[in-house]
Structure 1
Amino acid sequence: MLKSNNQKGFTLIEMLIVLFIISILILIAIPNVTKHFATVDKKGCDAYATMVQGQVEAYRIDIGKYPTSITELEDKDYLKVTDSKTCEGKTISITDGKVSVSN
């Protein structure tokens, strides 16, 4: 009986090379993804502060004066109560009709 050495499949070396290439691609991709998360969080916080400023202006138009705090906007249903005082761990405050984000 003759045995054929014509089996199809990957050798161990080929598999190791593929795993090595995949590892390199992952090492390149992960830092780029984490940078984008930080950028997205900052832009989201900036957008939220702009939205709160819009609600401050809407409050002034409706009530005739600027709100003195975020709580005042929440009480009048201009903002939802959940987490509207913070953004990315920073405090959002209103001073003389201007919204500011500070540590």
Structure 2
Amino acid sequence: MKKIKHFKAFTLIEMLLVLLIISLLLVLIIPNISKQSKHIQSTGCKAQLKLIDSQIQAYTLKFGQPPNTIDNLVSEGFIKDDQKSCKNGQTIAINNGEAVAS
């Protein structure tokens, strides 16, 4: 008579519990990630506004007057065309010599 070897393995209930715990963790983590993404985009837009402000100052030093529009900065090579708007969709304009997002 042969002996049957019993291997230790996970039961179906144990596997389901592990999947339940993983899915609960995902449900809790994913909303926090999306909130952080919005915060990162707004912070990135603030940084981009500071960059545009510094380029406005450089333009003013070079030409003796601030640019009228953001297109003046692009045409003179101070910024690139894709820097006229933030990643969150806000457009950047020049108002009273300062960069503003709207």
Runs of 4+ in structure 1 off by over 6 angstroms are none
The superposition leaves residues 45-93 of structure 1 with CA deviations (integer Å, 9 ceiling, x where unpaired) of 1110110011001111111110011110011110012x22222222211
One-letter amino acid of the counterpart of residue 44, structure 1: G
One-letter amino acid of the counterpart of residue 6, structure 1: H
| Alignment match, 1:13 | 13
One-letter amino acid of the counterpart of residue 18, structure 2: V
* Structure with more helix by fraction: 2
Query: What TM-score does the superposition give when structure 2 sets the normalisation length?
Result: 0.91
| Cα RMSD, aligned residues only | 1.3
| Alignment match, 1:31 | 31
| Alignment match, 2:92 | 92
Q: How does 1:1-103 map to 2 (within 5 A)?
A: 1-4=1-4, 6-81=6-81, 83-87=82-86, 88-102=88-102
Query: What TM-score does the superposition give when structure 1 sets the normalisation length?
Result: 0.90
* Structure with more strand by fraction: 1
Report % sequence identity.
40
Counting matched residue pairs gives 101
SS of the equivalent of 1:99 reads strand
Cα distance between partner residues in 1 of 2:16 and 2:28 = 18
